[in-house]
Structure 1
Amino acid sequence: MSETQQAVRKRTTHQGGEVVLEVSDLAVSFGGIKAVDGLSFSVHRGEIVSVIGPNGAGKTSAFNCISGFYRPNRGTIVFDGQQITRRKPSYITARGMARTFQNVRLFSEMTVLENVKTGMHSHLGQNVFDAMLHTPRYRRSEAQCAEDARGWLDFVGFRADDELLVTQLPYGEQRRVEIARALATQPKLLLLDEPGAGLNHSEKNELMGLIRRIRDLGVSIVLIEHDMGLVMEVSERIVVLNYGKEIADGTPEAVKQDPVVIAAYLGEEEE
């Protein structure tokens, strides 16, 4: 395991402990339509939380507000003790939040290894002078960066050639690369937007194992997911949205039996 992974592993994790993310009364509208309407929830350090709900419930809009891609109309977002409401994505990422997207977003003209290395940019400490002259310090930094990137690829179970362009990979392997790049930023909190989309049954089982391994590093995880089998299996807590509002927040078993949730969402899934 690389030094980067060892550093992340040192973070303590215990459910019900320190709050790493606190969302309070979050609201965002588009053309008079309320995508998120008064959402409040928290995530503890080392906790796996799923956010579920029907299509159009506001899940991805909430993610986009939390990660800085949308500016909410109302509410506050506190991450790791710092106010990040309406901050830019680069600011939020630098403070330890990473995310993946529903549709994999990788640099198509780059190799697998180069894509993962981009996640390390803010931690390298390189300067323009060293890069231009390829000084010994720069070469050492690049060698360590490549080693760490390969460490993260190994951690997520990537099995192909890391010198391939990402466009040459099957979808499941592209998803692994995206998660490896997110982990390369050394996050305290990882947002996963439908990580199971497009994966077959075997790949989803591997994904569940990977999510747990990431949690075991001390990283808190919030995921949006439509596959209820995956959600119920991997989540420690579930937040349910409907029309931009939170209608339930509890353990998988409690949420599964909640009549309000059944009427709004789970009942539809079972039909």
Structure 2
Amino acid sequence: MLRDQISEGNFSSVMVFVLGFSELPNLQGLLFGLFFLVYIFILTGNGLIIIITRMDSVLQTPMYFFLANFSSLEICYVSVTLPRILMNLWTQERSISLLSYATQMCFFLVQGATEAFLLAVMAYDRYVSICNPLHYALCVQLAVAAWFSGIPVQIRQTCQVFSLPFCDSNQIRHFFCDIPPLIQQACWDTALNEICVYVVTVLFAMIPFLLILGSYVQIVSTILKMHSAEGRRKVFSTCGSHLTGVSIFHGTVLFMYVRPNSSYALDHDMIVSVFYTIVIPMLNPIIYSLRNKDVKEAVKRVFGKKIIC
């Protein structure tokens, strides 16, 4: 029935979407100020990690090489969405063209895939350094693979989603361009698209997560064999920050994408999506720096004064 209506032209092809916080008109200024401060904090905190890992010779190790890559990714990740959100809040102009929506969504998905694989690479690095200490020359290759592995698949998925026809309503109750709220607007059977989303999520979330889990099984096994309590404490401290980031990222991503489209709850999922688009990049400098003695000492050496007490 629906296919017949579409073939007869009884639908409106949407070329412009409207997204944002229209239901909170009295909080636009507050939200702008909050997101602006968060954006500055993310740029400053992650930028600081990149600077000190490049300038301090003590931190010229694979672990901090990947941490610098992760901080660079977080800056790129949040810069895909937050500047547009800030512009919408400041100008109250919430419309976005089909092409702009597709572009932002594609970059967002590619960088999400990069984060999943980079977290897996960081877990492998910890496994190598703890369980089988050696110097290996694969850092750049692993980082490049993590950055570029998701591009072909996510471009294909973006094209597939935007091959759907979208009906009269162009109101997207979301604050950035993502797949779940867009599929809700399609006037076509989206079962195939939902299956593809599940498959891609398994490929770029579950597989890296299983690799991370396997690495940490080996790490824990090695830690339990250590005779030094101080050594065990140091290893647990180093791995704890990474596990925190992994738990937040994979937990929210799996909640958002691995479930039936019918269970999609806009209000709740807008809150959940804040975690993996804004909160994780904001927490990165805190998780990996404030409890890391090496990073604190590097900041003092690089900047020549006691910044962190």
Structure with greater helix share of residues: 2
Structure with greater strand share of residues: 1
Same fold flag (TM > 0.5): no
TM-score for both structures, normalised by structure 1: 0.27
TM-score for both structures, normalised by structure 2: 0.25
